[in-house]
Chain A
Amino acid sequence: MSASQATRQIYTFYLDRHIFGVPVTCVQEILRLQMLTRVPRSASVVAGLVNLRGHIVTALDVRARLHLPPRPEQLCPMNVVVHTSAGPVSLLVDRTGDVLDCDPAQCEPVPDTVDAGLRPLFTGVLKLPDRLVLLVDVERVVTLPERVGAT
């Protein structure tokens, strides 16, 4: 999903001290953390499985995916369930932010200084007056690099 030209709405969430955004249209629902069933031997990015009203959804630890430090234990994450080509996937985020209008004029490509391995996961940067929002490519974030944890 590339940064389109028209104004669109961005759902924002926080991870560590950063703020990220995904198009509102790919967010299915946001839930408080449900009981997670861990999956031994899975990739470290896989946080576990959650029961979403009878559907089993894989929850991904976005912090791990984006190479951020692990979440402090006392922090209870939120499930952001997003639509992907492989069905719904839950992203664990620290807390949710606002829904913002994203004017393409305010967007810029991701600076080259961002870790080259992570750069493809972002579609651009939204410049707000007080801070920058990294726009996340949902499809790519939920696609894990091959053979990460299948030991």
Chain B
Amino acid sequence: MTQEQELVREFLLESYENLERLDQDFLVLEQNPQDRQRLQSIFRTIHTLKGTCGFFGFSRLERLAHAGENLLGRLRDGELDLTPDMAQTLLHMVDRIRRLLAGIERSGTEPDEDVEPIVAELHRWVAGQPCATAREAPAPSTADEHPQSAPASRTVPDVPGTEQQSPPTQEPGDTQALPVLEDKPVAETVPSLADSTLRVDVAVLDKLMNLVGELVLTRNRILQCSNAGLDDTLVAAIQRLDLVTTELQENVMKLRMQPIGNLWNKFPRMVRDMAYACGKKVHVVMEGADTELDKTLIEAVRDPLTHILRNAIDHGIESPADRRQAGKPEEGTIVLRAYHEGGQVTIEVSDDGRGLDWERIRAKALAAGLVTAEQAARMSTRDLSQLVFLPGFSTAQQVTRLSGRGVGMDVVRTCIERIGGLVDIYSESGRGTTLTLKIPLTLAIVPALIVECAGDRYAIPQASLLKLVKLAEGHSDKCLEWVHGAPAFRLHGRLLPVVCLQRLLGLSACADACTARSLVVLHADERSFGLIVDKICDTEDIVVKPLSRHLKGIPIYAGATILGDGTVALILDVMGMAQEVHLAGSEYREETRTHQALAERGHWVTLLVVECGGQRLALPLAQVYRLEEVPASRLERASGSEVLQYRDRIMPLVRLGTLLGVPQTLSQRLPVVVCRQPEGDDFVGLIVDRIVDFVETELHPDLTAGRPSAGALVLAGRVTELLDLGAVCAHAVPRSAAAGKGAL
């Protein structure tokens, strides 16, 4: 079925339902002509019908409904009083509408029926002249109403009777055909469409969903039991149960799935109206309207999408004159695109408007005191674009009816994040803006990772899962390192902040010594962090259940679920945990963003600070490969200098103290900073006394290079010399050692 057919079908269903009510309404109204509320409701029904007809291009139906609407409007406003004759004409109109609808249902197009007589009649009533035909027409039918109603009674007792009477008086040509045609289509085709579909309360669907969830859990429990050696018939039955349950679950999930087009269909009109109000020309292109997602999620993205469209029309698309000047077509284009990607639905809204005005955002951020002038000047467009998601941040020069009040993008972000989604914005000045929403397919059943901590199991939604790492003891690739008492882990060469779940749960402090445990790498917002757990158990599909109000205030839980064995497990809220450790807090985010931005410009660097012979030394963290602690006994000598077997290679070692001419402490375990030599990819190990800290700082460009020390700066209140790694290597690494890199 094409989209258009689908829409027509929906329109028919809705209209039939409304008309059914309309008959009742008219009958009540006849008893009590002063019932304004009922008149209002009838008016609205006809009005809606008229609007939709216009949309589909059903001109006869529209004409008819329009005439009826006029009369009803007069009645509603009290300018006319409803007389039985008038009611007759209106009922007549309702019947004709129904007949037209039946025709549309049969053939898909408007049947070739003459509506003019009724339209004329309605017009005459509006004009206040009850004319002859009008009088004639109802007269016999009113007389016949009761006798006729009995045999014809189906859902609408009086109407078929009047129908049979009125056409002959008005449309003599139809006399033969109509009575036959109309009784059947009305009585038979209406149920045919109504029979094939059924309106179901969403609450019932939710209940069904819950029950299926329970069934899935019970199935899981039985499956676990079935591993314990049962007889074959039972095992076969269990397998069957498993199969049926899975299928049932999929189908029930499908019940809630709707194409996003259902929501989008409302947009072209909305966009047209908004564009018209702004004096702009915009047309909407939709791609992937048949992408399905859970109904609750469709509801959840309705407002954010409306906001985004509003922004696009009001701020994004330029006026026709401006567009012409910019060499673009006068008519702006907004592309709505939806597609499935990795268990998520991505919805994109792109416009080909003027894009974000970086200068204005910069100025606005400065004026609002969000950044300093210096920071503002250095922020990249990527950082600037993120600012529009801050509350109260609007760059619109004037508040219009549509937008510019500074609420919007932050609300969009909140709405999307509430349903576990992400929003991103990408803009190119002069070319347009694209907003990307990534939302989960469904909220009801989510795949989760089950972890164990302090004897209890917890579920972590897999959507936020990046990586699992089995932590090892001792010194290897897979162990935690400590930065000023805080654990960190190297992931792809970058330091990942780590938190201990046990500590987050407030159960007990995480032991400093890193025992063999597991690290779950999660991402929340734009940041990643590691979570230390005791054990990684399994993955399971879980049904998310809300927590009672007694537990609402605890940010680290997203809900609870029942695991396969029937125990209750808490679901961890990754976002909540991240905020808890001040990772995703906006303050931190802003800070890191600024720093990243500055780092891009090469001014800010993270330095590793070490101590050697009482002196503080620093070198850019980017040059550091790993930090190791090596027993002094492992040091060997080659070509007169100290070396260490490291990663199947011979790594030259440099005692920084010797190089700098300061005495170094002698200890059994030597902290070694492993760096990659600036030339080639060989390692060099720098033996220091102590590793102090990581510091983020701004480097002044006037530092001279060429000596082991590239200059000095004050870090944490102490003079710290900056090491020039290239110079250190040149001074200290003998050619022979550098050449002797053969595999061991």
Enumerate A20-46 residues with CB–CB distance to B below 8 Å: 35, 37-43, 45-46
Chain A residue at smallest Cβ distance from B556: A41
Enumerate B67-105 residues with CB–CB distance to A below 8 Å: none
* Residue from the list A40, A144, A147 in contact with B507, Cβ < 8 A: A40
B567 and A51 within 8 A (CB): yes
Judged by DSSP, the binding face of B is mixed
Complex Cα distance, B339 from A65, in Å, reads 51
* Residue from the list A35, A50, A54, A58 in contact with B550, Cβ < 8 A: A58
Complex Cα distance, B702 from A140, in Å, reads 70
Complex Cα distance, B218 from A131, in Å, reads 46
Interface magnitude class on chain A: 20 to 34
B553 and A147 within 8 A (CB): yes
B217 and A151 within 8 A (CB): no
B562 and A51 within 8 A (CB): yes
Complex Cα distance, B568 from A58, in Å, reads 11
A56 and B562 within 8 A (CB): yes
B505 within 8 A of A: yes
Instruction: From B213, B567, B569, name the one whose CB has the most chain A CB atoms within 10 angstroms.
Output: B567
Chain A residue at smallest Cβ distance from B454: A40
What residues of chain A lie closer than 8 Å to B569, measured between beta carbons? 37
B550 and A144 within 8 A (CB): yes
**Closest Cβ–Cβ distance, residue A22 to chain B (whole Å):** 18
Complex Cα distance, B570 from A43, in Å, reads 15
Per-residue A-contact encoding for B477-518, CB less than 8 Å = 1, 0 else:
000000000000000000000000000011100000000000
Beyond A54-B214, A151-B506, whether A35 also contacts B551 by CB under 8 A is: no
Beyond A40-B505, A41-B505, whether A54 also contacts B554 by CB under 8 A is: no
**Closest Cβ–Cβ distance, residue A118 to chain B (whole Å):** 18
What residues of chain B lie closer than 8 Å to A35, measured between beta carbons? 566-568
B548 and A87 within 8 A (CB): yes
Enumerate A47-64 residues with CB–CB distance to B below 8 Å: 48-51, 54-58, 60
What residues of chain A lie closer than 8 Å to B214, measured between beta carbons? 54
Complex Cα distance, B550 from A144, in Å, reads 7
Beyond A49-B560, A51-B562, A54-B562, whether A42 also contacts B567 by CB under 8 A is: no
Complex Cα distance, B561 from A41, in Å, reads 18
7 A-B pairs closest in CB distance: A40-B505, A150-B553, A37-B568, A54-B214, A58-B548, A49-B568, A41-B506
17 CB contacts below 8 A, A to B, read A37-B568, A39-B551, A39-B557, A42-B550, A46-B551, A48-B568, A49-B568, A51-B567, A54-B217, A54-B562, A56-B560, A56-B562, A56-B568, A58-B548, A86-B548, A89-B550, A147-B553
Known: A35-B568, A37-B456. 20 other contacts (CB 8 A): A35-B566, A37-B560, A37-B567, A37-B570, A38-B456, A42-B550, A42-B554, A43-B550, A46-B551, A48-B568, A49-B560, A51-B567, A54-B213, A54-B218, A56-B560, A58-B548, A58-B551, A86-B548, A89-B548, A150-B553
